[in-house]
A = this chain, B = another copy of it.
Amino acid sequence: MKTISPELSSILPLFYIAWSDALLGPSEIALIEAKLLDIAWLSDEDKELVSAWSNPQNPPNDELMTIWSTAIRTVAAQFSEQEKLSLSRLGIEMAKSQAGEDNLYWLNENVLTALQELEKAININNLSNHTELFSEVQRNALILSKLKETSFDPKKLQDILDDGYGEIRKKVFQLLQDPLFNHKTLREKTSYREQVIVWLQLLADQGFGSLHYPDSSGGKNDLGAFAMVFETLGYHDLSLTVKFGVQFGLFGGAVLNLGTEYHHNKYLKYIGNLSLPGCFAMTETGHGSNVRNLETTASYDNVTDEIIIHSPTPDSQKDYIGNAAAHGRMAVVFAQLIVDNINHGVHAVLVPIRDGNGKTMPGVEIIDCDYKLGLNGIDNGRVRFNRVQVPRTNLLNRYGNIDENGKYSSPIEKEGRRFFTMLGTLVGGRVCVPRAGLSAAKTALTIAIRYGLKRRQFGEEGQPEILLLDYPSHQRRLMPLLAKAYAFDFALTYLTKQYSENIDRDLREVESLAAALKSLATWFSSEAIQQCREACGGRGYLSEMRFADLKADTDIFSTFEGDNTVLLQLVAKSVLSDFQKELGEGGIFGFAEFLAERFLSAAREKNPWAIRNTNESHLLSTDFHLHAFRYRERDLTVSVAGRLRKHIGRGLAPQQAFMRCQNHLIVLAKAYGERVVMEQFAEVVDKCADVTLKPVLKRLCSLFALHTIEANASWYLEQDYMDGSKTKAIRNVVDKLCAQLRDEADGLVAAFGIPEDCLNVSI
């Protein structure tokens, strides 16, 4: 080995680790080099050497690396278990061993400090790279010390997640700690349903059910608080959560948003305190997604001044209706409103289905849906109406009224617009559902990550086995999910705010946002819970580990409140319609090829140098992330619009043209949703003023961004937005971020703030 100076030896451990991690490519080295050259105690000759080694074209060869490795290990072996270990400290020891005492005049306090800063700057957090240098005993000591390390206070991070609703969340958790809420898996549906209705009453007694109703109806007019209650219940029991949503959100929400003062005064108070349990009877056996073509009729009879509710065909029975099989006493029934033989489209009518003693009303037939994949604490049922008569005033008449003279009128003349306006007011369900799904995913992640920090398997002879979470494959499995849980949390908080702020104004934009985020977030939750189950192996299969119920109960979230695939098509149409507005006259079907090209090249030109940029600081920059997400959405918009234009130009009906582009529309909608999530995450990072939180939030954000870009790598490559060296570099940065966040994982799940008794798992 060519002798190197003691001064240079001091940085050897840092340099070695940086290079041994050089699968990432040369960008990291460039960063280090720049910093190293600033070091005061290095001679010019040393700096030249460092410069040579740092040439990405000509890195230290294997022989040299082996020699360094041996030298470093030899020095490291002199450390005892008790001594504080770090690469900086090791560097000092290297220098000492290299030089006689009189050759160390340059070595003072500042050197250690400088080395420590360097160590921090190059982010050597990957334990597996780091600990190889040390003896086994030291390694274990290091691992233990790392375990206790937290770079931030989870409570502070929790505050950011709570976004001002920490108090109500705490209140719900306090209530859930009451022994009456003790959780026990009830596998038999009748007893489970009875348990859930008892719990629901306890929630109603606290006023939780009417938080989003107006003051005049005993509420607080606080939709954000209502959504937080819903989210928090998701940590306890999802049947209760969904039942809560059905009663106070769907049933009560329909009365609130589709009814008028008469209905508010007459019903909301009793809905909120659960003395009037009710159903939201929209879906029919033959019509789930296609609500506009429901078959149930609501025919006005001038003679009796009543509305007759009827199910004309077997397919028109109301299906999967929550609260119907056991507890519901009234239902908001969606039906074609027929007045004077004219069909005015779908309207909602209040129909009593059981009397005060629980006896089914005449003309109403209710069939139990029996067991389901999950959510068996909810009494879903099928409801058929055989010419059931209700007073005219039971029509929820905000958007369509029948007056005393039997005349129909509506503030919205066009049937189509009326229909979509009515449906739009019910978007609250889509705002809430993904939040409860996310609670389930957070529970699963908390369990799986804690298990991964406790359970060991395989390892070197005579050593403690290796923690599951120290395996790169395990990190790859769980860390991106953890980052996404944060990403969706921020995005859903944003959605709730947008909904609250616009509920009395134009909801169209919020509808797209809700549809996109509901779809992406609920699919994410299912995927996350599944991965967490598998990450806990056989243990994860036992009911005691809770994945069984978490999986089963959330599975339907991708279907109810709008099937995800159907919702994404609506999202895409809305994105295209916004694009059309942007294009102005002529719209999508008028715009010419060169216009498309202009839109795209404008976006492309902003970053012409970026295609091959594998520099780590670029890959980790929020600007790059935002650009990549926005570019993708924009490019997909322009290209789908072009295809539609082409098809329609050739004489296809618009519906057929959309059918041809269906798979592209879904891809576009996902890109739209991902872009929104990315922007919201970036904003949270940007706003965060706490220096202990900002770095970890930034890392989570980068992991979310790069993992998503990686998943779409083939698209970016096809578009020449990136070349292969860049997508490879991204893959390596994702691995690295996973390893770095592994050390924060314990704190990151702690920040979800799930109380132990609610988590209810012993690991």
Contacts and interface: CB of A to CB of B under 8 A. Distances in A.
Contacts of A533: 373, 555
Contacts of A663: 472-473, 476, 735
A543 B372 contact: yes
A652 B72 CA distance: 13
A23 interface: yes
Contact of A319 (B23, B538, B656, B713): B538
A718 interface: yes
A646 B373 contact: no
A563 B543 contact: no
Contacts of A584: none
A756 interface: no
B660 A542 contact: no
Given A651-B73, A662-B473, A371 B543 contact: yes
Contacts of A558: 534
A267 to B, nearest CB: 27
A634 interface: no
Given A541-B372, A556-B538, A656 B717 contact: no
A638 to B, nearest CB: 16
Contact of A649 (B66, B320, B720, B727): B66
A132 interface: yes
A62 B724 contact: no
B543 A556 contact: no
Interface string A36-57: 0000000000000000000000
A728 B539 CA distance: 43
Contacts of A713: 714, 717-718
A70 B649 CA distance: 11
B541 A563 contact: no
A550 to B, nearest CB: 10
Contacts of A650: 20, 62, 65-66, 69
A497 interface: no
A128 interface: yes
A82 interface: no
Interface residues of A, number: 89
B20 A458 contact: no
Contacts of A728: 718
A549 to B, nearest CB: 9
A652 to B, nearest CB: 6
A457 B565 CA distance: 13
A370 B563 contact: no
A548 interface: yes
A538 B320 contact: yes
Contact of A560 (B288, B457, B538): B538
Interface in A594-633: none
Contact of A370 (B371, B538, B542): B542
A719 interface: yes
A655 to B, nearest CB: 6
Contacts of A283: 538
Given A370-B544, A371-B543, A373-B551, A132 B652 contact: yes
A559 interface: yes
A371 B542 CA distance: 6
Interface of A: 20, 23, 62, 65-66, 69-70, 73, 128-129, 132, 185, 187-188, 283, 286-290, 293, 319-320, 369-374, 456-458, 460, 465, 471-473, 476-477, 526, 530, 533-534, 537-544, 547-548, 551-552, 555-556, 558-560, 563-565, 569, 643, 646-647, 649-653, 655-656, 659-660, 662-663, 666, 713-714, 717-720, 724, 727-728, 735
Which 7 A-B residue pairs are closest in the complex by CB-CB distance? A718-B724, A373-B548, A713-B714, A69-B651, A714-B714, A371-B543, A717-B717
17 contacts: A69-B651, A128-B656, A132-B656, A187-B188, A187-B371, A286-B456, A290-B465, A370-B544, A373-B541, A373-B543, A373-B552, A472-B660, A472-B662, A534-B565, A538-B559, A551-B555, A663-B735
Given A69-B651, A283-B538, A290-B465, 19 more contacts: A69-B650, A132-B656, A187-B187, A287-B457, A289-B457, A320-B538, A372-B542, A372-B548, A373-B551, A374-B541, A374-B548, A473-B569, A473-B666, A540-B559, A551-B555, A713-B718, A714-B717, A717-B727, A718-B727
